[in-house]
Structure 1
Amino acid sequence: MELVRCPAELGTASRTVIVSSVSSDSHTWNLVYLQLVLEEAGCRVVNLGPCAPDQLIVAECLRNRPDLLVVSTVNGHGFQDGSRLIRVLRNHSELRQMPVVIGGKLGISGPDHRSSASLVDAGFDGVFEEDADIQLFRSFVAALPVGVTS
């Protein structure tokens, strides 16, 4: 776990963002990439790393009260693991308003917009499939209010 504080760009307040993979995904390059993207945007990043168990993610969200949780996966099991994780997160009253997004390779058959809609219905605030433009993610982060779950 790593906490990095970077000055906010353009004089905006700094957002705290937790970055994590799903419990079944051991990849790290995607998490490092997202951490760098978020730091460039002036965010403080807590990177939980790969294979983070659901309860660790919940505990760190309760402890850090992030402005955003970013769940990234590249192993093709994001839909299944993400559906479970968002239920666990939303069962905690303190985390119901916390913005949560998921992105990457969410299924083994490639992008599936029906699965994305199901993830939003389950409680994710945003779904960024593997073919999504990173600028869409950057715009989403920039539009977030600071201190939503504080």
Structure 2
Amino acid sequence: MSPYPMTPTPGDQPVLVAGGISDSHTWNLVYLQLLLEEHGHRVVNLGPCVPEDLLIAEALAQRPLLIVVSSVNGHGYHDGMRTVTRLREHPELDQVPAVIGGKLGIAGPCGDEEVAALRAAGYDAVFDDSAEGVAAFRQMLDALSQRALV
């Protein structure tokens, strides 16, 4: 990574995909990358167990169109709160859309209060791991304006 971040040319902003800091699963990240690429987006997949400092550094360097945080281990709510709080501390990133999805709680899906807390902390959308959650994520992707030339 260059110490001198370059501003990407218009139309070249990637989507950053990251697993939560405590989540070592990778299949979900590969799925998300393929889904995003299928929708015409360039993807920078940071992999599993992404420390907040790495996500922030990459977001500052890449100036992404969207940040996607994914969880399969059930700790997404707690990891995600810490991640988005740190992310939103950076004025350069406060307008970058960020979403979180997957298995966000160990006792099942997050309730309305947890979803509201994640949104209040800085996520633009919260998706659970249900078929409806995946459909809502796909709809959000369809609404994104930028598409890569594939």
Quote the Cα distance in structure 1 between the aligned partners of 2:121 and 2:52. Answer: 16
Is 1:141 the counterpart of 2:116? The answer is no
Q: Which residue of 1 aligns with 2:49?
A: 51
Query: What is aligned with 2:122?
Result: 123
Give the alignment of 1:93-104 within 5 angstroms.
Answer: 93-104=91-102
The reply on whether 1:106 has 2:104 as its aligned counterpart is: yes
d(CA) in 2 for partners of 1:43 and 1:17?
7
Q: How many residue pairs end up in the alignment?
A: 134
Change (3 A) 1:51 1:98: same
Cα distance per residue 1:53-109 (max 9 Å; x no partner) = 000000000011000000000011111010011010000000000000000010101
Task: Tell me how far 1:14 sits from its aligned partner.
Answer: 6.1
Matches within 5 A, 1:1-150: 16-113=14-111, 114-131=113-130, 132-146=132-146
Contact 1:67 1:145 in 2 (8 A): no
Normalising by structure 1, what TM-score?
Answer: 0.85
> Counterpart of 2:50 in 1: which secondary structure?
coil
Question: Retained in 1: the 8 A contact 2:18–2:46?
Answer: yes
How many angstroms apart in 1 are the aligned matches of 2:142 and 2:52? 26
- Give distance in 1, aligned partners of 2:101 and 2:61: 23
| CA distance in 2: counterparts of 1:107 and 1:134, whole angstroms | 17
Q: Are the equivalent residues in 2 in contact too, given 1:15–1:42 (CA < 8 A)?
A: no
Q: Matches of 1:142 and 1:16 in 2, distance apart?
A: 15
**Percent of residue pairs bearing the same amino acid type:** 55
Q: Which SS does the other structure have where 2:22 is aligned?
A: coil
1:77 and 1:38 mapped to 2: Cα distance?
23
Q: Which amino acid aligns with 2:21?
A: S
Gap regions ≥5 residues in structure 1: 1-12
SS in 1 for 2:127: strand
TM-score normalized with structure 2 length: 0.85
Determine the C-alpha separation between the residues in 2 that align with 1:26 and 1:125: 24
